[in-house]
Structure 1
Amino acid sequence: MWGVSVRVWRAPWTVDLRRVVDVHRRGPHDPAFTVAPDGAVWRASHTPDGPGTLRLRAREAEVEAAGYGPGGGWLLERVPALLGEGDDPAGLEPHHPAVKEAVRRQPGLRIGRTGRVWEALVPAVLEQKVVVEEAWRAWGYLLRRYGQPAPGAPDLRVPPPPGVWARIPSWAWHRSGAEAVRARTIMTAARLASRLETAETSAELDRRLRSIPGIGVWTSAETRQRALGDADAVSVGDYHVPGMVGQALIGRKVDDAGMLELLEPYAGHRYRVTRLLEAHGSRAPRRAPRLPIRDYRSF
């Protein structure tokens, strides 16, 4: 039996725990992530040492972390990285009033890193070109069916390792709502997962990811943001982000090219700026009907 290990980490800044780690949550019913009534964040992961669960509680700059299961120690070691210890926002110089105000209001926001490429890649692929609720539904179904109970938190599920994803049958993908294209991309990537995990830089990971059929610039950026904490990996091709950036910075929606032009002065921090603007509540006005959530499953 694996017990629980505890550590206390004190950051040199006031930690905004939810802002930093919520980016790893895939919807309000994510089987691998939950927030307890006492405010503690629980997250399950399949680490190089095996399945583990992490519980985090923060009070200003002090974070109490508990690790459960064979992977608990691995997760505890990386709590500072997860909460943004390796991130350096000091070089960000606001060139727009909205960015300046967002920085002022979000001093505890950091770009953290999980160090787990595969667990960032799978949900990013599921979110390709669909309504996000549809992707969250697929992620939840597949984790509940193929993930194992999380150590110390049996109501949570540990995301399966690549070998399990590679063997998921076609009927289960269909039942989850993920069509063949996304399923094939994940199964192809599963055979290359060990190579992806060993990429030493974000640029190298980008090259390796985009060499896989079905993975493009958006999926690569979404993966590198979470796994490697790349503060510059802007999500080109996103349905909402360009409009949000344009509305916040110049008062009107723009396309990807316009977004990249607006973010050019923030090179090195382009993803950070989009996170800050989102956290600040920037939204582009809706002028089109909301896309429907498809459901073509047969039961």
Structure 2
Amino acid sequence: MAGRFTPRPTRTTVRGGEVAVPAGVPRQASAAGRVRTWAPGFPVDLGLVLGPLRRGPADPTFRAMPDGSVWRASLTPAGPGTLRVAVVGGAVRGEAWGPGAEWLLERLPGMLGADDDPSVFLPRHRVVAGAWHRRPGLRLTRTGLVLESLIPSILEQKVTTDEAYRAWRSLVRKFGEPAPGPAAGGRLWVMPAPRTWALIPSWEWHRAGVDNKRASTILRAVRVAARMEEAAGMAPAAAQARLEVVSGIGPWTSAEVVQRSHGAADAVTVGDLHLPGIVGWALAGDRDADDALMLELLEPYAGQRHRAARLILLSGRVPARRAPRMPRGDIGRL
């Protein structure tokens, strides 16, 4: 649930991390890969569960295909991997390619919300209850990967989503590698390895529109990449504390990461430009709410505050903007 979004209702973040996945008939991929079939025992909505992992409509690591399948390219501890997921007759079919194929298939249930327990959630506001009723397939993903969420979250610090998405797209395509396997028709890329991030020249960061502060934060993080990835095995609060040891990573960024890497149901994003006003408007009619009031309003959902915030975003109940609050910039053209 990225926080620095522009006021457009089609933005993934405005919708609470929902991606439109066509209701097509999934077909098998053209090239044989490793396959896992899994019966989840609950409805799986790929667009809802995997939506927060997409960084903009042209994310080079994520594709929702016309046949109803979702493709992802990841850099796993075992190496690069491509994963194709489709729901066929209530069962989930996962196909994977590359050195990281087995790693991705092993964690497929967790990525689709098997580790999440929405039964403990109790809606306490009409807006939340309505969104909960309309989205029975909402479960929180758990990728088990930290850097793939950390780096784009750093890129999203204090800029518009257009700027952040452009930077992510540019850097991954230029310094990443083509995803293994058929890779959604060759349109997927694996993000760069930590050493590659560390070797990106300063002018390339500038060309991608990334200022020195965000670039320096990413460089500090990738220098301790192993320690960052270790956080995937920690409790969410401990993982956030581990991430925040790195200068430039604060509560906003660490929450954005553990929401995806851990499926952290209580990791509410604080320090966001728009989220307090959206929550305040939905729950109390106060568009000028700050972090303190947002946390007070979400207190009845203690332990499930992130889920409640996502449902509020999914409800579409957002205040009309008086005026754009954050100008768009492009330092790459300066």
Give TM class, smaller chain. over 0.9
1:10 to 26, 33, 39: 39
Per-residue CA deviations over 1:189-213 (Å, capped at 9, x if unaligned) read 1111111211222122111111111
Q: Name the CA distance, whole Å, in 1 between partners of 2:226 and 2:251.
A: 20
2:317 to 262, 279, 282: 282
Residue 163 (structure 2) aligns with:
134
Q: Name the CA distance, whole Å, in 1 between partners of 2:125 and 2:53.
A: 28
Residue 13 (structure 2) aligns with:
none
The 5-angstrom pairing of residues 25-104 of structure 1 reads 25-59=54-88, 61-104=90-133
- What amino acid sits opposite 2:281 in the alignment? Q
2:293 to 258, 269, 277: 258
Q: Name the CA distance, whole Å, in 1 between partners of 2:284 and 2:88.
A: 36
Task: Report the alpha carbon displacement of residue 291 of structure 1 after superposing the two structures with TM.
Answer: 3.2
Give SS of 1:95's match.
coil
Residue 222 (structure 2) aligns with:
190
The runs of 5 or more residues in structure 2 that have no matched partner are 1-30
- What amino acid sits opposite 1:162 in the alignment? P
Residue 24 (structure 2) aligns with:
none
Bigger relative CO (Cα 8 Å, ≥ 6 apart):
2
Q: Name the CA distance, whole Å, in 2 between partners of 1:242 and 1:282.
A: 13
Per-residue CA deviations over 1:42-73 (Å, capped at 9, x if unaligned) read 11000111100111112464211110111111
Q: Which runs of 4+ in 1 moved over 4 A?
A: none
Give SS of 1:184's match.
helix
Name the CA shift for 1:46/1:266 in 2 (closer, same or farther; >3 Å). same
Q: Does the CA-based 8 Å contact 1:138-1:176 persist in structure 2?
A: yes
Deviates further, 39-48 or 153-162:
153-162
Q: Does the CA-based 8 Å contact 1:45-1:159 persist in structure 2?
A: yes
Per-residue CA deviations over 1:113-150 (Å, capped at 9, x if unaligned) read 11010111000000000001100000000001000000
Task: Report the alpha carbon displacement of residue 280 of structure 1 after superposing the two structures with TM.
Answer: 2.4
Q: Name the CA distance, whole Å, in 2 between partners of 1:14 and 1:81.
A: 14
Give SS of 2:188's match.
strand
Give SS of 2:187's match.
strand
Q: Does the CA-based 8 Å contact 2:211-2:331 persist in structure 1?
A: no
- What amino acid sits opposite 1:185 in the alignment? T
Q: Does the CA-based 8 Å contact 1:84-1:110 persist in structure 2?
A: yes
1:181 is aligned to 2:210: no
Task: Report the alpha carbon displacement of residue 176 of structure 1 after superposing the two structures with TM.
Answer: 0.4
Residue 188 (structure 2) aligns with:
156
The 5-angstrom pairing of residues 159-170 of structure 1 reads 159-170=191-202
Give the paired residue count: 298
Per-residue CA deviations over 1:210-258 (Å, capped at 9, x if unaligned) read 1111010000000010111101100101112111111111222211111
- What amino acid sits opposite 1:189 in the alignment? A
